[in-house]
A and B are shown apart, each in its own frame.
Chain A
Amino acid sequence: MPEALIGALDELSRAHQEALSDPTFQVELMELHRTYTGRPSIITEAKRFSEYCGGARIFLKREDLNHTGSHKINNVLGQALLTKRMGKKRIIAETGAGQHGVASATAAALLGLECVVYMGEEDTKRQALNVARMKLLGAEVIPVTTGSRTLKDAINEAMRDWVTHVANTHYLLGTVAGPDPFPTMVRDFHKIIGDESRAQMLELIGRLPDAVLACVGGGSNAIGIFYAFLNDQSVRLIGLEAGGAGVETGKHAATIVGGTPGVLHGTRTYVLQDGDGQTRESHSISAGLDYPGVGPEHAYLHEIGRAEYRAITDDEAMEAFSLLSKSEGIIPAIETAHALAGAMKIGREMGKENGKETTLLINLSGRGDKDVQTAAKYFGIPL
């Protein structure tokens, strides 16, 4: 990490630690979640989709029903309150799918903060609807035209803005990557997903699920739902990365499955890189997973074997996208569809292995409204 940002990172660490032990902060955040986000989010049993998952019972944690349509709001409201606590007036954010940008613009409107969102030019095209949403919410959206013009370059540009305006600006990073304290802090704001789910599952079926599944871009929705289950050794934790055209083709964003250890954006983790340590471009049909790094805690969970990571191709994700839409009346985000495709595979595998009923909990991290254009094009539906 550049020395110029050490002061701001220290300040953020302190603010986060103080907020953790400050009951008024926690009450304020919980009250916002109850009256604004719409928490707790419900769990839906997907009885018809179950058929495509080898008959496993499928439970969906409905983060798609949160205000702004994804899990991203959990972290954003937390960090936006921290921003006020630090006395800063301006937030900047990077966004891939636009969900984090929309959530940031929303929190800025709610709390009266100035908001600038950096978004790769390529992503402004595939997520045009979200660009318009951010603008309607009063945020400025800056298309990033360097490098691969996707999420990683948006992060670079946000870092450059931050180092220039750090005195009055908070960088509201949208996932569990980046320098310390971001991975821990963002996880802390998302662990409510797992806390709620664990209690809800016990209430619904009287036991824990056999496996918990989530898609992994930077890894925030996944760590959010995994965290409460870390000590439940009977529960498999499975992260689904974006396999793009297939990991073997090199055109993918499956960082743990197909990457190597390195340093990116101030974190030591798995990175898609060439032999010279130059970051390789990632590829995925889903803008939100199209990132050549991954949160360091996932790298750790992979290394100690507590969580498993697999890659789902674009085509597999789109099949699951379509099947969930038609069997349950829920159109998922394409990011989330990777987790659903994972459930189709894992459900069949586990059903065969144990011969008894298998229960899977899936983090339905977001809704697919933003993806209608991409999906229509993929399925050949004229617009």
Chain B
Amino acid sequence: MSLLEKSFELARAENRALLIGYLPAGFPTLDRSILAIKAMAEGGVDVIEVGLPYSDPVMDGPVIQQASEMALANGFKTRDVFKVVAASPAPTLVMSYWNPIERFGVAEFSENLKKAGGEGVITPDLTIEESQSWISSTDKEQLHRVYVVAPSTTDNRLAKVTKHCSGFIYAASLMGVTGARRDVSSAAQSLVERVKKVSNTPVCVGLGVSTGEQAREISKYADGVIVGSAFIKLILDSKSESEANLKVKSLATELAAAVRR
């Protein structure tokens, strides 16, 4: 059993949803991103999702766009993501758009991630139809492959896509891009229910989730809650690194309490 699967098992035993926290590698700098991830874990985030900054993040809203631009401007390189994964104190997945992975080399990327202790990869813009090389290299390295499904995904396609997912299935709470929203749309729950009909893999809900209240709501029907932009926003708005990490830790604590059922 992988560390990720163990985390789900533990959460289930404690009657709570899993809490997944997202931060981009290299934001605002490599060292600071590692410390922020540690703060997230100390606050109670179970699993870390490390973003690989990309120049054209079409599925991301303004906050992650800004963070990615800052990371790239500060010299982030693809191989840096493995340093962040290796330094992460919790089970860790990478989230990456496809072109940087392909450019690095699909097999090399998988090998390096495995060596760094990574659990798997979330690929927001890769379709299963384009996944041949990806499936074989992640299978070889025994990495989890997480695809994103959306409220617009048909039942037919849900069955096809989820067959290739392992670890968990990323359910986008709404039609749109990442970024905090005031309300979690009702589309999230019906999507989770539809996924549950075709797959036994855990389902985690992300996109737009930023508060304890929203996390509590989602925990009632999903196996995990994913929060990203809200953490980044805290870092962007802080005057110092120590202030940023304190705030990150305290949001993680608030969310960790909220996911208990």
A residues bordering B, Cβ < 8 Å?
1-8, 146-147, 152-153, 156, 159-160, 163-167, 262-266, 271, 273, 275-279
Bound form: Cα–Cα A265–B69 in Å = 18
Bound form: Cα–Cα A273–B54 in Å = 11
Q: A4-B148, A4-B152, A276-B104 are in contact. List 18 more A-B contacts (CB 8 A).
A: A2-B150, A3-B148, A6-B152, A7-B154, A7-B157, A8-B152, A146-B65, A146-B69, A156-B56, A163-B176, A164-B175, A166-B175, A273-B99, A276-B103, A277-B54, A277-B78, A278-B54, A279-B99
The answer to whether A278 touches B148 (Cβ under 8 A) is no
Contact with A along B151-187 (1 / 0, CB 8 A): 1111001000100000000001001110000000000
Bound form: Cα–Cα A271–B62 in Å = 24
The answer to whether A2 touches B99 (Cβ under 8 A) is no
- Distance to closest chain B CB from A260 (angstroms): 9
Bound form: Cα–Cα A159–B102 in Å = 22
Majority secondary structure, B binding face:
loop
Interface residues of B in 118-171 (CB under 8 A from A): 124-125, 127, 147-154, 157, 161
B residues bordering A, Cβ < 8 Å?
54-59, 61-62, 65, 69, 72, 77-78, 98-104, 124-125, 127, 147-154, 157, 161, 172, 175-177
The answer to whether A266 touches B55 (Cβ under 8 A) is no
**Which residues of chain A have C-beta atoms less than 8 A from B172's C-beta?**
4
Asked, given contacts A264-B56, A273-B99, whether A2 binds B78 with beta carbons under 8 Å apart, the answer is no
The answer to whether A2 touches B69 (Cβ under 8 A) is no
Bound form: Cα–Cα A163–B60 in Å = 11
- Distance to closest chain B CB from A166 (angstroms): 6
Asked, given contacts A2-B58, A164-B176, whether A7 binds B152 with beta carbons under 8 Å apart, the answer is yes
Q: Which of B58, B77, B98, B101 contacts A159 (CB 8 A)?
A: B58
The answer to whether A147 touches B56 (Cβ under 8 A) is yes
| Most chain A Cβ neighbours within 10 Å, of B58, B62, B65, B127 | B58
Q: List 21 A-B contacts (CB under 8 A).
A: A2-B125, A3-B149, A3-B150, A3-B153, A3-B157, A4-B151, A146-B69, A156-B56, A156-B57, A156-B58, A163-B177, A164-B176, A166-B152, A262-B99, A262-B102, A263-B98, A265-B56, A265-B58, A266-B125, A277-B101, A278-B55
Q: Which 5 A-B pairs have the closest CB atoms?
A: A277-B103, A4-B150, A277-B100, A164-B176, A277-B99
**Which residues of chain B have C-beta atoms less than 8 A from A3's C-beta?**
127, 147-150, 153, 157, 161
Bound form: Cα–Cα A5–B58 in Å = 12
Bound form: Cα–Cα A173–B253 in Å = 44
- Distance to closest chain B CB from A278 (angstroms): 4
Asked, given contacts A146-B65, A163-B175, A276-B77, whether A4 binds B153 with beta carbons under 8 Å apart, the answer is yes
- Distance to closest chain B CB from A218 (angstroms): 15
Bound form: Cα–Cα A2–B97 in Å = 10
**Which residues of chain B have C-beta atoms less than 8 A from A2's C-beta?**
58-59, 124-125, 148, 150
**Which residues of chain B have C-beta atoms less than 8 A from A263's C-beta?**
98-99, 102
**Which residues of chain A have C-beta atoms less than 8 A from B101's C-beta?**
277
**Which residues of chain A have C-beta atoms less than 8 A from B152's C-beta?**
4-8, 166
Bound form: Cα–Cα A164–B124 in Å = 15
- Distance to closest chain A CB from B212 (angstroms): 25
- Distance to closest chain A CB from B161 (angstroms): 7
- Distance to closest chain B CB from A160 (angstroms): 5
**Which residues of chain B have C-beta atoms less than 8 A from A160's C-beta?**
58-59, 61, 176-177
**Which residues of chain A have C-beta atoms less than 8 A from B176's C-beta?**
160, 163-164
**Nearest B residue to A4, CB-CB:** B150
- Distance to closest chain A CB from B70 (angstroms): 12
- Distance to closest chain A CB from B82 (angstroms): 13
**Nearest A residue to B77, CB-CB:** A276
Bound form: Cα–Cα A135–B77 in Å = 41
**Which residues of chain A have C-beta atoms less than 8 A from B78's C-beta?**
276-277
Asked, given contacts A1-B127, A6-B157, whether A279 binds B56 with beta carbons under 8 Å apart, the answer is yes
**Which residues of chain B have C-beta atoms less than 8 A from A159's C-beta?**
58
Bound form: Cα–Cα A6–B150 in Å = 10
Bound form: Cα–Cα A152–B99 in Å = 15
**Which residues of chain A have C-beta atoms less than 8 A from B104's C-beta?**
276-277
- Distance to closest chain B CB from A249 (angstroms): 20
Asked, given contacts A3-B148, A6-B127, whether A163 binds B59 with beta carbons under 8 Å apart, the answer is yes
**Nearest B residue to A160, CB-CB:** B177
| Most chain B Cβ neighbours within 10 Å, of A153, A156, A271 | A156
- Distance to closest chain A CB from B207 (angstroms): 10
**Nearest B residue to A159, CB-CB:** B58
- Distance to closest chain A CB from B213 (angstroms): 23
**Nearest B residue to A276, CB-CB:** B78
- Distance to closest chain B CB from A272 (angstroms): 11
- Distance to closest chain A CB from B93 (angstroms): 17
Bound form: Cα–Cα A165–B65 in Å = 20
- Distance to closest chain A CB from B123 (angstroms): 10
Q: Which of B62, B69, B149, B150 contacts A147 (CB 8 A)?
A: B69
**Nearest A residue to B148, CB-CB:** A3
**Which residues of chain B have C-beta atoms less than 8 A from A153's C-beta?**
56
Bound form: Cα–Cα A146–B61 in Å = 11
The answer to whether A1 touches B153 (Cβ under 8 A) is no
The answer to whether A167 touches B77 (Cβ under 8 A) is no
